[in-house]
């Protein structure tokens, strides 16, 4: 049968078109509903077998669902804008292995186990940039992530506790495979704050992952938790299954300020300085 023979059939009945459109809506297949007539016309014109036509419809629906899921997960993650692995200057942080970071970005080997990631370094060393960039890469790979300043989340958990909803609030955080706690060491040494933070760490232990950025090493965490026993217990849970990256480098922001003072015409030493945190 030639293409001309295949296109000699009568046009689709408007009643059939209406029925199909209605049923696709009932089946909650909005992507197929939007394009099926266009794809059907092409299939008729090119003489596609039925299996190819159905595959084209299914592929379109899957692609649209993947796109919508990514947009939804990206919106809920609250990542700071513009922080990607492509714009992170690995040459400025030579002690961090780019290959290791790229492996972490896949997520399979550690998020499935509820392992943690801890980034240490001085302010302005790129910790927030790298953590946000990892979060974005993980979302692209199908994981769910939440980025938050530690103090902001602690305040929300304190409110939940005062309303007798702390257990429910912690359970809601379980939907995130990775919880990024930025500026961990800025939590004040307050019994109420540190106790909810400790409960959060305990609730996610060996179940869901935490990524922490901190300016202070473990030896200084006595300034965060009110007693040594709680400090040791928190550190123990966090490092039991953890990757630790030391980022003890000069501040990106300080370096950028110096380069600006040097005036125009002088090429920057780091291409991503002004985009980094």
Q: Tens of pLDDT along 25-57?
A: 888 888 888 888 899 899 889 999 989 989 999
Do 49 and 122 fall within a single domain?
no
Rounded Cα–Cα distance for residues 25 and 32 (Å): 9
Do 128 and 236 fall within a single domain?
yes
Task: Give 123's Cβ-side CA count (13 Å radius).
Answer: 5
Do 103 and 195 fall within a single domain?
yes
Rounded Cα–Cα distance for residues 152 and 197 (Å): 11
Could you say which of 12, 41, 75 is where a domain stops? 75
Do 140 and 213 fall within a single domain?
yes
| Structure confidence at residue 8 as a pLDDT band (50, 70, 90) | very low
Do 107 and 46 fall within a single domain?
no
pLDDT score for 188: 65
Could you say which of 16, 41, 75 is where a domain stops? 75
Could you say which of 22, 53, 75 is where a domain stops? 75
Do 29 and 132 fall within a single domain?
no
pLDDT score for 179: 98
Tokens 């009568």: give the residue.
10
Which structural domain, as residue segments, surrounds residue 126?
A: 80-275
CATH at residue 233? 3.40.50.300
Bigger pLDDT: 134 or 272?
134
For 32, other C-beta atoms within 10 Å of its C-beta total 18
Q: Is the pLDDT of residue 271 over 60?
A: no
Under a CB-based contact definition with an 8 Å cutoff, are residues 57 and 39 in contact?
yes
The mean per-residue pLDDT over the stretch 180-199 comes to 81
Give me the sign of the Cα torsion angle 53, 58, 61, 67: negative
pLDDT score for 256: 53
Do 265 and 202 fall within a single domain?
yes
Q: Is the pLDDT of residue 99 over 80?
A: yes
**What is the reported pTM?**
0.76
Rounded Cα–Cα distance for residues 209 and 114 (Å): 4
Count Cβ neighbours within 10 Å for each residue of 52-80 and write b for 16 or more, e otherwise: ebeebbeebbeebeeeeeeeebeeebebe
Rounded Cα–Cα distance for residues 114 and 107 (Å): 10
Number of domains in the chain: 2
Residue 179, phi then psi, degrees to nearest 5: -110, 115
Do 85 and 58 fall within a single domain?
no
Do 24 and 159 fall within a single domain?
no
Structure tokens at 156: 């929300």
Tens digit of pLDDT for each residue in 201-259? 999 999 999 999 998 888 777 777 777 888 888 889 999 999 999 998 665 555 555 55
Name the E strands within the chain. 116-120, 145-149, 178-182, 209-214, 242-246
Do 104 and 144 fall within a single domain?
yes
């Amino acid at each position: 049968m030639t293409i001309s023979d295949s296109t000699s059939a009568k046009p689709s009945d408007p009643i059939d078109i209406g029925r199909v459109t209605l049923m696709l809506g009932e089946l909650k297949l909005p992507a197929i509903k939007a394009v099926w007539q266009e794809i059907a016309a092409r299939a008729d014109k090119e003489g596609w077998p039925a299996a190819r036509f159905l595959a084209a419809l299914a592929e379109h629906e899957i692609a649209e669902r993947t796109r919508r899921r990514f947009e939804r997960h990206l919106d809920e993650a609250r990542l700071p804008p513009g922080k990607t692995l492509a714009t992170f200057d690995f040459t400025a942080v030579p002690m961090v292995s780019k290959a290791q970071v790229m492996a972490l970005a896949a997520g399979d080997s550690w998020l499935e186990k509820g392992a943690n990631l801890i980034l240490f370094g001085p302010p302005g060393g790129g910790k927030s940039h790298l953590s946000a960039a990892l979060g974005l890469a993980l979302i692209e790979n199908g994981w769910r992530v939440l980025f938050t300043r530690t103090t902001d989340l602690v305040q929300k958990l304190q409110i939940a506790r005062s309303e007798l909803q702390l257990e429910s609030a912690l359970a809601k955080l379980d939907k995130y495979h990775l919880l990024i706690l930025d500026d961990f060491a800025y939590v004040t040494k307050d019994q109420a704050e540190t106790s909810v933070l400790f409960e959060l760490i305990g609730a996610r232990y060996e179940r869901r992952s935490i990524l922490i950025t901190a300016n202070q090493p473990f030896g200084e965490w006595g300034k965060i938790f009110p007693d040594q026993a709680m400090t040791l217990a928190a550190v123990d849970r966090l490092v039991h299954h953890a990757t630790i990256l030391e980022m003890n480098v000069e501040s990106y922001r300080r370096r950028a300020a110096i380069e600006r003072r040097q005036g125009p015409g002088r090429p920057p030493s780091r291409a991503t300085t002004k985009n980094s945190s």
